[in-house]
């Protein structure tokens, strides 16, 4: 067996040493900190490769290495298989960035390759962390004392919402980037490992699949998560997805109305519920379209709310999450087309954005347009299910077909003609991960899915001007004006993700990269009487709140206007008046008034600024 050999690639900023067994050490010469390969197994990573009629798994631990002035080429060829996999490590022109990529023979297919396996690790003693761009941002410390493995898939629900990660140890920072939806990151924490003398090891892996062929590591010298965000912001500008408020407002002047605007959404005007057998269980009118207009007028006249994104759901023919994409005529139970057109005029006359909530991803079996030809298919040809919502079991429309449905004369063009809203919301478009479709009539890769969704966004903008969707992803920055769900979910920071399980906490990472590009809100109902921490979170990130919790009808006419009793003051402070500007208002209105009057002007004066510093005032 030949002895292990090491070659090195060096600039004035970094030194990269790679061995024939696949292990590596990269030293940041500015800070003197080294970043190393897998501490558990001596190898670069693993690969799963399809070869003819079989799938093979390889441990990448034996290479023939060739070096040039600016790259290292690592050739992997297992003894018993006729394959050649080449790993390239290239020093880029900035002298601070290494690009890792791979090449393989055309007749072979890489199912998955893990080039960064439990790499770039840090210990509890190194005062470090990994940052992940999930919703606003997550900081995972290396001294949490917790064991876990957590996967963050690119652009999936609560995955990596930007194509990056960052790591800091001993005040030395690195930025990991890629540009492909087929990248999956994994963060792992182990305790008391014999591999390294440390109480805790925090490490990172990257899986590359299908079109994903490369990633980059930029060594930033001394820095923190603010420095990492600043560096990524410059990369984001080069991708073509970065689009500032100034550019957007020039193209859609009404987008300026989002600056300082709170998000008011009525869920939902008509609420029709079906069971698993598609039998109708209930039909409830929460608000008529006449009441919709009166609520908006109440906000303007009685609460003095000057800036609002006013959204209604459940306006469509059979109510919220029912019979999409067959949305017209507007719900007769709520007043029908004429009443909705009048409500639109009245709300817009207040100076508000009047926004209708729609959906071009879900379809139901009782929809008049139901056809299996519209629906995405899995590799086995089976229809792909969506969630089970108010209208029963939903099925997922292929995004190419969804765009065609939206363009039908009876869909968005007719909505424009009848109601002329000055904003529009297509549900789920950004929230769900990017899909693949295996229907030969309309096949999709994740890249295709992104493209058709972007085209749906741009088509909607061409009709209504201001546009937004659920949650938010980096690829949607240039084709939308607001994200609903990035700031939080139902009064919490996340939906299913539990930061406490990783000892992690929220940081305003998104704000440091894209703050001056888009309006950001939370989503879903939450308890206003226990929302103090949620409000403080919005003050910290400088974003207006979403008000999605309402009582039926003209709520303020029925509710008590007395000072609330029985709630702990620290969590209920924003529903109190204490002789202030919310005196004499009901609880919902107290919360709206107390929070909007702080957050609206805060966003107004900071929307086009960039966060350049962020620090904690106390250790906890």
Last residue of a domain, one of 217, 239, 261: 239
Please indicate, yes or no, whether residues 257 and 221 belong to a single structural domain of this protein: no
Please indicate, yes or no, whether residues 127 and 202 belong to a single structural domain of this protein: yes
User: Under 8 Å CB-to-CB from 494, ≥6 apart: which residues?
Assistant: 134, 135, 158, 488
Please indicate, yes or no, whether residues 191 and 338 belong to a single structural domain of this protein: no
Cα–Cα distance, 128 to 364 (Å, whole number): 48
Cα–Cα distance, 389 to 398 (Å, whole number): 19
Comparing 617 with 99, which gets the higher pLDDT?
99
Please indicate, yes or no, whether residues 125 and 256 belong to a single structural domain of this protein: no
Say which CATH number the domain at 288 has.
Answer: 3.20.20
Cα→Cα distances 527→162, 287, 481, Å: 30, 20, 27
| Residue 394 belongs to some domain of the structure | no
| Residue 534 belongs to some domain of the structure | yes
Give the mean pLDDT of 409-416.
98
Say which CATH number the domain at 215 has.
Answer: 2.70.98.10
Q: How confident is the model at residue 488 (pLDDT cuts 50, 70, 90)?
A: very high
Place of tokens 């006359």: 349
Q: How confident is the model at residue 571 (pLDDT cuts 50, 70, 90)?
A: confident
Q: What range does the domain containing 329 cover?
A: 251-360+401-606
Last residue of a domain, one of 212, 239, 266: 239
Can you point out the beta strands (E) in 124-239? 129-132, 138-141, 148-153, 164-169, 172-177, 183-191, 200-208, 214-222
What does the DSSP assignment read for 385-396?
EEEEETTEEEEE
- Element at 99 (helix H, strand E): strand 97-104
Give the mean pLDDT of 225-238.
97
Please indicate, yes or no, whether residues 187 and 277 belong to a single structural domain of this protein: no
Last residue of a domain, one of 239, 269, 290: 239
| Residue 378 belongs to some domain of the structure | no
Give tens-digit pLDDT for 336-390.
Answer: 999 999 999 999 999 999 999 999 999 999 999 999 999 999 999 999 999 999 9
The percent of residues in the chain predicted with pLDDT above 90, rounded, is: 91
The contacts found for 338-343 with CB under 8 angstroms, 24 or more apart, are: 339/288, 339/289, 339/290, 340/289, 340/315, 340/418, 340/419, 341/418, 341/419, 341/420, 342/289, 342/290, 342/293, 343/289, 343/290, 343/292, 343/293
Cα–Cα distance, 76 to 471 (Å, whole number): 42
Give tens-digit pLDDT for 124-141.
Answer: 999 999 999 999 999 999
Indicate the number of domains in the chain: 2
Cα→Cα distances 372→39, 397, 437, 605, Å: 50, 9, 13, 50
pLDDT of residue 2: 57
| Residue 389 belongs to some domain of the structure | no
DSSP assignment letter at 342: H
CB 71 within 8 A of CB 91: yes
CB 309 within 8 A of CB 482: yes
* Range list of H helices, 408-496: 412-419, 446-464
Please indicate, yes or no, whether residues 218 and 314 belong to a single structural domain of this protein: no
Please indicate, yes or no, whether residues 231 and 266 belong to a single structural domain of this protein: no
Please indicate, yes or no, whether residues 222 and 273 belong to a single structural domain of this protein: no
| Residue 366 belongs to some domain of the structure | no
> For the whole model, what pTM was predicted?
0.96
Q: How confident is the model at residue 335 (pLDDT cuts 50, 70, 90)?
A: very high
pLDDT of residue 383: 98
Q: String of b and e for 449-475 (b: at least 16 CB within 10 Å)?
A: bbbbbbbbbebbbebbbbbbbbbbbbb
What does the DSSP assignment read for 10-64?
E-SSEEEEEETTS-EEEEETTTTEEEES-SSSSSSEEEEEEETTEEEEEEE---E
Please indicate, yes or no, whether residues 590 and 505 belong to a single structural domain of this protein: yes
| Residue 377 belongs to some domain of the structure | no
Please indicate, yes or no, whether residues 328 and 213 belong to a single structural domain of this protein: no
Give the mean pLDDT of 25-39.
98
Please indicate, yes or no, whether residues 340 and 195 belong to a single structural domain of this protein: no
Cα–Cα distance, 124 to 71 (Å, whole number): 33
* Residue 86, φ and ψ in degrees, nearest 5: -115, 125
Cα–Cα distance, 232 to 234 (Å, whole number): 5
pLDDT of residue 193: 86
Give tens-digit pLDDT for 522-551.
Answer: 999 999 999 999 999 999 999 999 999 999
| Residue 367 belongs to some domain of the structure | no
Give the mean pLDDT of 497-525.
98
Strands 353-359 and 308-312, sheet pairing: parallel
Whether 23 shows a pLDDT value over 60: the answer reads: yes
Q: How confident is the model at residue 1 (pLDDT cuts 50, 70, 90)?
A: very low
CB 171 within 8 A of CB 220: no
Please indicate, yes or no, whether residues 256 and 112 belong to a single structural domain of this protein: no
| Residue 218 belongs to some domain of the structure | yes
């Amino acid at each position: 067996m030949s002895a292990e050999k090491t070659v090195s690639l060096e600039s004035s900023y970094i030194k990269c040493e790679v061995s024939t067994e696949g292990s590596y050490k990269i030293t940041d010469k500015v800070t003197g900190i080294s970043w190393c390969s897998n501490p558990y197994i001596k190898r670069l990573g693993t690969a799963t490769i399809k070869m003819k009629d079989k799938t093979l798994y390889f441990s990448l631990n034996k290479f023939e290495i060739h070096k040039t002035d600016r790259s290292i080429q690592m050739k992997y060829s297992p003894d018993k298989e006729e394959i050649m996999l080449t790993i390239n490590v290239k020093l880029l022109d900035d002298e601070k960035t290494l690009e890792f990529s791979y090449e393989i023979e055309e007749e072979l297919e890489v199912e998955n390759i893990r080039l960064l396996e439990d790499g770039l690790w840090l210990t509890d003693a190194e005062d470090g962390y990994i940052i992940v761009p999930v919703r606003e941002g997550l900081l995972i410390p290396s001294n949490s004392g917790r064991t876990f493995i957590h996967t963050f898939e690119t652009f999936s629900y609560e995955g990596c919402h930007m194509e990056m990660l960052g790591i800091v140890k001993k005040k030395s920072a690195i930025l990991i980037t890629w540009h492909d939806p087929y990248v999956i990151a994994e963060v792992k924490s182990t305790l008391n490992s014999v591999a390294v003398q440390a109480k805790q090891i925090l490490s990172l892996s990257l899986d590359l699949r299908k079109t994903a062929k490369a990633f980059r590591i930029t060594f930033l010298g001394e820095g923190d998560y603010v420095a990492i965000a600043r560096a990524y912001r410059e990369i984001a500008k080069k991708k073509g997805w970065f689009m500032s408020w100034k550019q957007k407002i020039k193209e859609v002047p009404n987008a300026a109305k989002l600056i300082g605007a709170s998000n008011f959404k009525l869920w939902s005007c008509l609420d029709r519920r079906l069971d698993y057998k598609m039998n109708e269980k209930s039909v409830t009118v929460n608000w008529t379209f006449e009441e919709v207009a009166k609520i908006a007028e109440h906000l303007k006249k009685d609460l003095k709310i000057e800036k609002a994104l006013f959204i209604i759901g459940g306006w469509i023919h059979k109510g919220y999450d029912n019979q999409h994409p067959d949305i017209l005529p507007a719900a007769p139970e709520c007043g029908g087309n004429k009443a909705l057109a009048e409500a639109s005029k009245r709300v817009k006359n207040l100076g508000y954005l009047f926004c209708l909530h729609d959906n071009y991803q879900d379809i139901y079996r009782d929809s008049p347009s139901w056809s299996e030809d519209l629906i995405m298919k899995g590799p086995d040809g089976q229809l792909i299910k969506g969630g089970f919502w108010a209208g029963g079991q939903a099925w997922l429309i292929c995004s190419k077909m969804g765009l065609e449905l939206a363009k039908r004369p009876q869909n968005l063009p007719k909505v424009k003609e009848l109601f002329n809203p000055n904003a529009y919301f297509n549900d789920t478009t950004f929230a769900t991960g990017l899909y693949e479709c295996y229907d030969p009539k309309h096949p999709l890769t994740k890249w295709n899915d992104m493209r058709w969704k972007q085209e749906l966004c741009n088509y909607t903008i061409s009709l209504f001007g201001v546009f937004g969707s659920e949650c938010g992803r980096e690829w949607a920055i240039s084709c939308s004006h607001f994200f609903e769900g990035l700031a939080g979910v139902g009064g919490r920071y996340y939906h299913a993700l539990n930061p406490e399980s990783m000892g992690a906490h929220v940081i305003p990472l998104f704000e440091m990269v894209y703050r001056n590009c888009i309006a950001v809100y939370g989503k879903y109902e939450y308890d206003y009487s226990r929302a103090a921490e949620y409000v403080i979170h919005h003050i910290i990130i400088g974003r207006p709140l979403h008000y999605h919790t309402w009582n039926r009808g003209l709520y303020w006419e029925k509710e008590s206007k007395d000072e609330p009793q029985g709630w702990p003051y620290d969590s209920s402070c924003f529903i109190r008046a204490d002789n202030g500007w919310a005196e004499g208002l009901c609880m919902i209105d107290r919360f709206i008034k107390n929070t909007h009057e702080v957050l609206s002007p805060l966003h107004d004066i900071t929307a086009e600024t960039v966060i350049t510093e962020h620090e904690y005032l106390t250790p906890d």
